């Protein structure tokens, strides 16, 4: 059985790693903050002190980190996993990064005799814990086939989309649809609110329209200032930046994404970067004079 290395045990990565342990895979884990890795020892996983140590003893390396610099550090840095990995080791990156960076990293890994799949996910921490994520995969088809069992262990559905970068392209679209919807909905709901129309009546009417399922999905988090954070404004702002870079690379104007970027940056400047991204609603309330 393949020995798996997992780097990045945050809200998403920890659930993914647990799914692999439940499926019976020998697992080696690394996390920058050792405290987050320690519980995995009790679950039967080995703990590595560095990504380089991890890379030397596994057949597959899965990464789930915050951004491009973090990914480059854990893979290609002085103590990166690629520095010690044996030829043929497969790297699977489930981070949300932009395609050009992912393809560049894949190219460098290939140069060293290593393989890479970009495999960002759809779903939240609860889905990761249950092994119910959806994966968008880019890379060589034959490499994907070799590790499809790992995706089956961590998710309910996997889409193979094409060459390196394909998964990143699809994930950025999903995240931008969410960002733009939340920005648009938060902005337009200010009109009836400021006009004095009853809040519950507004929601009841809007839920009758085709947007109803989305409004029902988000309203519990959006209108509760103390809601549990599922995805912070800081990470959505990062993803918006990556989307705009992708648009620039492909020569695609992203007008609504550019507008949403301004709103999320205002939220960050107001100190809300670690609030759930649905809380851009409160930024617009303030700007509209509604407190």
* Residue 262 confidence class, pLDDT cut points 50, 70, 90: very high
Tell me what pLDDT residue 291 has: 83
Report the CATH number of the 4-163 domain. Answer: 3.40.50.720
pLDDT tens across 33-89, in order? Answer: 988 999 999 999 999 999 999 999 999 999 999 999 999 999 999 999 999 999 999
Model confidence pLDDT, tens digit, residues 224-255: 988 889 999 999 999 999 999 999 999 999 99
Report the candidate in 70, 4, 2 with the shortest Cα–Cα distance to residue 32. 70
Decide: 75 and 81 in contact? Cβ < 8 Å: yes
For the chain, give every domain's residue range. Answer: 4-163, 169-287
How confident is the model over 200-212, as pLDDT tens digits?
999 999 999 998 9
> Residue 279 carries which DSSP code?
G
Fold of 169-287: 1.10.1040
Q: Region 255-266: what's the mean pLDDT?
A: 97
Q: By the 8 A CB rule, do 233 and 263 touch?
A: no
- CA distances to 14, 121, 246 from 158, rounded to whole Å, are 19, 9, 23
Q: Full-prediction pTM beyond 0.75?
A: yes
């Amino acid at each position: 059985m393949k020995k798996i290395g997992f780097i990045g045990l945050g809200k998403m990565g920890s659930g993914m790693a647990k799914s692999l342990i439940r499926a019976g895979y020998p697992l080696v884990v690394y996390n920058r903050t050792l405290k987050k890795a320690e519980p995995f020892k009790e679950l039967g996983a080995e703990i590595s002190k560095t990504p380089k140590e991890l890379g030397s003893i596994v057949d597959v390396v899965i990464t789930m980190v915050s951004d491009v610099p973090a990914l480059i550090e854990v893979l290609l840095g002085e103590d990166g996993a690629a520095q010690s990995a044996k030829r043929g080791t497969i790297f699977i990156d489930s981070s949300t990064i932009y395609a050009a960076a992912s393809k560049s990293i894949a190219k460098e890994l290939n140069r060293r005799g290593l393989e890479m799949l970009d495999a960002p996910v759809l779903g939240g921490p609860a889905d990761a814990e249950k092994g119910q994520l959806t994966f968008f995969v880019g890379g060589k088809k034959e490499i994907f086939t070799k590790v499809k069992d790992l995706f089956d262990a961590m998710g309910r559905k996997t889409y193979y989309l094409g060459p390196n970068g394909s998964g990143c392209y699809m994930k950025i679209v999903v995240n931008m649809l969410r960002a733009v919807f939340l920005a648009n909905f938060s902005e337009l709901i200010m009109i009836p609110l400021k006009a004095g129309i009853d809040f519950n009546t507004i929601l009841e009417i809007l839920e009758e329209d085709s947007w109803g399922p989305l409004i029902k999905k988000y309203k519990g988090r959006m209108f509760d200032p103390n809601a549990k954070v599922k995805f912070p404004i800081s990470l959505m702002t990062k993803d918006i930046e990556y989307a705009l870079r992708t648009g620039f690379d492909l020569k695609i104007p992203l007008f609504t994404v550019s507008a949403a970027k301004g709103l999320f940056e205002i939220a960050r400047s107001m100190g809300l970067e670690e609030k759930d991204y649905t809380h851009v609603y409160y930024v617009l309330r303030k700007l509209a004079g509604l407190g």
